[in-house]
Amino acid sequence: MTTRRLRGSAATSTDARPAEPIVEFAEATPYEQYVGVRQLQALLRTVTDHPAEPAFLVVTQVMELWFTLLRREWELAQRRLRTDDLDGAVAAIRRSVHHLRSLNASWGSLLWMTPAEFNGFREQLGEASGFQSYEYRHVEFLLGLKAESVVRPHRGLPAVHADLQRALADPSLEDDVLAFLARRGLPVPAEVLERDRAVQHEAHPGVTELWAGIYRDPRPGNELFALGEALTDVAEEFTTWRQRHVTAVRRSMGAKPGTGGSAGLAWLERSAARVVFPDLWEARTVL
């Protein structure tokens, strides 16, 4: 009886036909409607015929999409923290670490570019510069790297300018983390909680010691330790992106002035020196 049942089951499995993909659609495929492939392809509008320019433009556009995704994840983490949903906040932060690693990998599609190749289309970019990326400014502001001067280039786009002004004055992800820790009863200094949000936060001895206390208890069940490590991963990966940016610029154009009027490499090096989540790094010194 057992043998018959097994044979019958095998026969049924053999007779079953594999599913065939749907190949007939009255309009565009659902994939095209969802992804918008033709719209994406239409955005590849180069200004020269130089063979190196398409890669430069595509990588730049892809990075803008990564910036947008990072912004969404960190704003979600802020909303979760404000409702004391630490698990939801850490999940968004950890996802963002993977996004940052993909963002960093984007540089690999440009590191082959020589100065001669970049010069083949650089002059035709006019005053266009990565310095003018407002999504990147949102990313910086969310990480606490704030400066009013970088909002000014966007006055010509009132909606964008207003959004950046709001982000400049609003709490950063770090601010929301510290407010969450204060609600959990940790001794976050009042002057840190009540400071001007539009000014970049520098390491504070009280906050540094707070994180050092958390790190003195690295047991698996210490959820605040896990939060600190997730934030440190973000800081590390974002720092790596800025360092790779410096390297890519140094390799393709040296120390020439930037297309947007900045000091180019020198400006990028100063920007890359700003520390994300400084208290988390200082805590490692005092441990």
Give the residue-averaged pLDDT of 152-173. Answer: 96
| pLDDT tens-digit map of 189-223 | 999 999 999 999 999 999 999 999 999 998 888 99
- 122 has pLDDT over 80: yes
118, pLDDT greater than 80:
yes
Q: Average pLDDT, stretch 26-49?
A: 94
First to last CA, the chain: 70
Using alpha carbons, select from 175, 218, 224, 216 the residue that is nearest to residue 195: 175
pTM for the model:
0.88
Instruction: Return the half-sphere exposure (C-beta side, CA atoms, 13 A cut-off) of residue 98.
Output: 6
Helix count and strand count (H, E) for the chain: 14, 0
Q: Would you kindly state where each structural domain of the chain is located, as residue ranges? A: 26-286
| Distance between CA atoms of residues 78 and 89, nearest Å | 7
pLDDT of the residue at 18: 80
| CB-based contact 234:143 (threshold 8 Å) | yes
Structure tokens at 112: 């082959």
- Give the up-direction half-sphere exposure of residue 246: CA atoms within 13 A in the CB hemisphere: 14
Query: Which token pair is 65?
Result: 């999409």
Residue that is written with structure tokens 């100063």 in the block? 270
26-286 maps to which CATH number?
Answer: 1.20.58.480
For residue 238 the two structure tokens come to: 């974002």
Q: Which two tokens stand for residue 16?
A: 């079953």
- What's the pLDDT score for residue 187? 97
Reported confidence tier of residue 249, pLDDT bands at 50, 70, 90: confident
